[in-house]
Amino acid sequence: MQILIPFYSLYGHVYALARAIAQGVEKAGATPKLMFVQETFTPEILAKMGAPEPELRGAHLPAPTPDDLVDSGGIIFGCPTRFGGMPAQMRAFLDRTGGIWTKQALAGKVGGSFVSTNTRHGGQEMTHFAFHTFMLHHGMLVAGAGFSYPGLFDHTAVNGGSPYGAGTIARDNAVMPTDEELGLARLQGETIAGIALKLAS
């Protein structure tokens, strides 16, 4: 079974989480497919924003279409936040799914989300909720990470992530995801893929 991981990443943090999600999907016995949501910034703007090379943020990967969502056994969306919500790139992609929504072509599929913020209170949970709203309108089954990952109880360090899904705190792009953040992402990928496999059996 294929689990689709459509994501957008500007500086590479979400791409790092996406790769960890994919590892968890493989551990569950499913096949991950990473796809990069279509960029809307021009190369000139990306350069001014200090975005790394495409390979470092996943932009070398193919862009998903609504049909790719339909063809998957489960979907785990990922993106950074923009002022407490999704970036325009992800929103534009989701807004293209009206055709499959009218057919309820995603109904019954399991899905989840993973996110990044620059600060501790930058809107991770709000961005998860935005994805949840989208998935519920499509009739999908929403799965989070729960509190089964011990790192969520670790108060000795500042980490992203929540029971709603994996997350990372970029801290002005100074650090990539921590081991704890990547661990939660792996668990989430394994959990959602496991649910998808059970639903298909």
Tell me the domains of the chain and their CATH numbers. 2-200 (3.40.50.360)
For the segment 92-116, what is each residue's pLDDT rounded down to a tens digit?
999 999 999 999 999 999 999 999 9
pTM as predicted: 0.96
- In angstroms, the CA 97 to CA 4 distance is 15
Q: How confident is the model at residue 157 (pLDDT cuts 50, 70, 90)?
A: confident
Q: What is the DSSP string of 114-147?
A: EEEESSTTSSHHHHHHHHHHHHHHTTPEE---TT
117 beta partners: 169
Token pair 């979907």 is found at 75
Residues 158-174, mean pLDDT to the nearest whole number: 89
Structure tokens at 127: 């961005």
Residues 159-175, mean pLDDT to the nearest whole number: 89
